[in-house]
Amino acid sequence: MTDKKKHGIARGLTNYGDADFSLYLRRSFAKSTGLSAEMLARPVVGIAQAAGGFNSCHRHFPELVDAVKRGVLAAGGLPLDFPTISLGEIFLNPTSMMFRNLMAMDVEEMIRAQPMDAVVLVGGCDKTVPALLMGAASADLPAVQLVGGPMLPMSYHGERLGACTDCRRFWAKYRAKEISAHEIEGIEGNLATTAGSCAVMGTASTMAALAEALGMSLPGTAAIPAVHADRLRAAEASGRQAMAMIGTDLRPSRIITEKSIENALRVLLAIGGSTNALIHLTAIAGRVGVKISLDRLNAISDETPILVDLKPTGQHYMSDLFSAGGIGAVMRELKPLLHLDCVTVTGETLGERLSGDTFVDRAVVRPLNDPFQSQGGLVALFGSLAPNGAIIKRSAADPRLFEREGRAVVFTSLDDLAVRIDAPDLDVTPDDFLVLQNAGPKSGYAMPEAGYLPIPAKLARAGVKDMVRISDARMSGTAYGTIVLHVSPEAAIGGPLALVRDGDRIALSVSRRSLELRVDDAELAKRRALHRPVTLDNTRGYARLYLQSVLQAEAGCDFDFLRKL
């Protein structure tokens, strides 16, 4: 019997040169856990779970994993959970982005190496869901994505607060001296008060929505709050569904296709989702051999309105979206624009999944013919400053800044930014463009969420709330502002961004999708000759692998050797 025909713990035997001995030895060790022979003969559902003491967003995972196990057991299987690397967004240095690919490799290899017939992927915080989906797509075993769900916002001094758009809003007020140190301390303790991922349409919520849009999660599960009893029922149902998928062709390679990826892109735009999610979706697509073109993004963005009124683009929280009908309500509105023949984890098509009507709260999920905003949230910009593209989240930006030329105020690194941004003698006006260099994937900072450059203190105190900011960094999905991100090629490898100097003129036109550096070619050639790329000196281990192999934003920042393209 080949390994493929074997199931459960008989799959993928450890190689001792004697298969029967390997199975006997494995059974004897498995029996040491107290499992009966009857249980050990069952199909195995692995549960890849990213819990950890350094991940506050996942603190409810033990209960969630128990519920998945309940579902697997009820369906006649044996659930075996295993830990993955856990990426707690706020707890990692230099940034969780550096470790997404490491987690994806961990997930892929452990799904492949351990004996399981299907897997439930349990993640939530920003990078964990893309890493799980990337790894599962490459391993290509039947897989169901279960997300941890969003936190609940809580009332504090008469207003609802929720991580993390409110975190930034109050920090900007504190920097502008509009609130005191005492007040910010009180707010600090009331921004994130329950288990779960950030309460707004940040990266975690966006990725949860995209997992459902791709068909990799059960319907209606993306927006269930982490602490809601339905979240546990979704976990139980995910365990059952993983059992139902064993032996079928409902593998990621059948579910994550060019069409379902385009559906996910539509949903990303319609929910005003995170810029980070574009990188992650590109990386997931790359694992199944699908390329996301930024030109296609622009075309789709123009014809896909924003339907959801959620922070940071709007005013509501994820728990409101859940009560309003969830991602299913959004996708029902988008039906004329979606590929309805895509298959989902349940085996039903997307069209079947979206048939029938449910309650929709129109204050949160707008109809297609009366949207919240008429065009999608994200667009790509191209031009001499970003030959391979850059991204702006126009839905969370100030349209008054969309068509203008400005003088560059350049920060050559994050360290330079930290030292000078609040200097009283910084030569800067509200009409200038703040430019941050060397914060891209290969910069040594691993593309942190630093693109949301703070407004220089002296301007913030004068009431300036937004300025054009340009970098090769990323931005938190919970942030807002006229911020151009993911400039490619990045400065560290000698992209045009590296050649910008203080006082240069830069022209931004969101309507023309352009970002131009107005410096003549001869001058740029002189500057280019002086540029020194980042070297691998003094790097070792994973950091070295990362610097050697990470691709630019338009390739999803995946490693060159992991993509199928």
Nearest to 479 by CA among 209, 87, 152, 171: 171
Tokens for 296? 């296609």
**Residue 217 vs 257, nearer CB to ligand FES:** 217
Comparing CB distances to ligand FES, the nearer of 125 and 492 is 125
Q: How far apart are CA 362 and CA 368, in angstroms?
A: 11
Q: Locate tokens 């989240």: which residue?
A: 393
Place of tokens 């560059």: 408
- Do residues 378 and 297 touch, judged by C-beta distance below 8 A? yes
**Contact positions vs ligand FES (CB under 6 A):** 57, 89-90, 125-126, 163-164, 197-198, 202, 204
CB nearer to ligand FES: pick between 322 and 559 = 322
Q: Which is nearer to ligand FES, 187 or 246 (CB)?
A: 187
Retrieve residue 222's tokens: 């993306």
Query: Cβ 387 to ligand FES, closest distance in Å?
Result: 32
| Distance in angstroms (rounded) separating the CA atoms of residues 47 and 49 | 6
Minimum distance of ligand FES from residue 200's CB (angstroms): 9
Residue closer to ligand FES, measured from CB, 97 or 434: 97
CB of 197 to ligand FES, least distance (A): 3
- Decide whether 94 or 430 has the Cβ nearer to ligand FES: 94
Tell me how far apart the alpha carbons of residues 9 and 22 are, in angstroms, rounded to a whole number.
11
Handedness of CA 403, 404, 405, 408 (dihedral sign): negative
Q: Which two tokens stand for residue 144?
A: 């169901």
Q: In sequence order, which ranges of 362-445 are alpha helices (DSSP H)? A: 414-420
Q: Which residue reads 């040594």 in tokens?
A: 444
Residue among 251, 257, 270, 248 at smallest CA distance from 214: 257
Which H or E run includes 509? strand 505-509
Closest separation in Å from C-beta 38 to ligand FES: 40
Q: How far is the C-alpha of 286 from the C-alpha of 297, rounded, in Å?
A: 16
- Report, in Å, the least distance between residue 338 CB and ligand FES: 27
Q: How far is the CB of 184 from ligand FES (least distance, A)?
A: 19
Nearer to ligand FES, 162 or 389 (CB): 162
Whole-number CA gyration radius for the chain: 24
Q: Which is nearer to ligand FES, 85 or 198 (CB)?
A: 198
Measured at the CA of 253, the angle between CA 286 and CA 88, to 5 degrees, comes to 60
Shortest distance, CB of residue 96 to ligand FES, whole angstroms?
Answer: 9
Nearer to ligand FES, 89 or 106 (CB): 89
Q: Which is nearer to ligand FES, 73 or 198 (CB)?
A: 198
Residue 284: CB minimum distance to ligand FES, A: 18
At its nearest, how many Å lie between ligand FES and the CB of residue 187? 16
The candidate with the shortest Cα–Cα distance to 30, out of 112, 108, 111, 115, is: 115
Contacts of 303 (CB under 8 A, 6+ apart): 337, 376
Q: What is the closest distance, in whole angstroms, from the C-beta atom of residue 307 to ligand FES in the complex?
A: 22
409: three-class secondary structure by DSSP: strand
Nearer to ligand FES, 57 or 245 (CB): 57
Measured CA to CA, the distance from residue 279 to residue 476 in angstroms comes to 12
CB of 148 to ligand FES, least distance (A): 9
234 vs 318 by CB, closer to ligand FES: 318
Interatomic CA distance for residues 256 and 334, integer angstroms: 19
Q: Kindly tell me the sign of the dihedral angle through the C-alpha atoms of 498, 499, 501, 503.
A: negative
Query: Angle 393-395-401 (CA atoms, 0-180°, nearest 5)?
Result: 80
Instruction: Establish how many alpha carbons lie within 13 A of residue 545's alpha carbon, considering only the half-sphere containing its beta carbon.
Output: 11
- Looking at the DSSP assignment, which residues form a beta bridge with residue 197? 150
Q: How far is the CB of 63 from ligand FES (least distance, A)?
A: 18
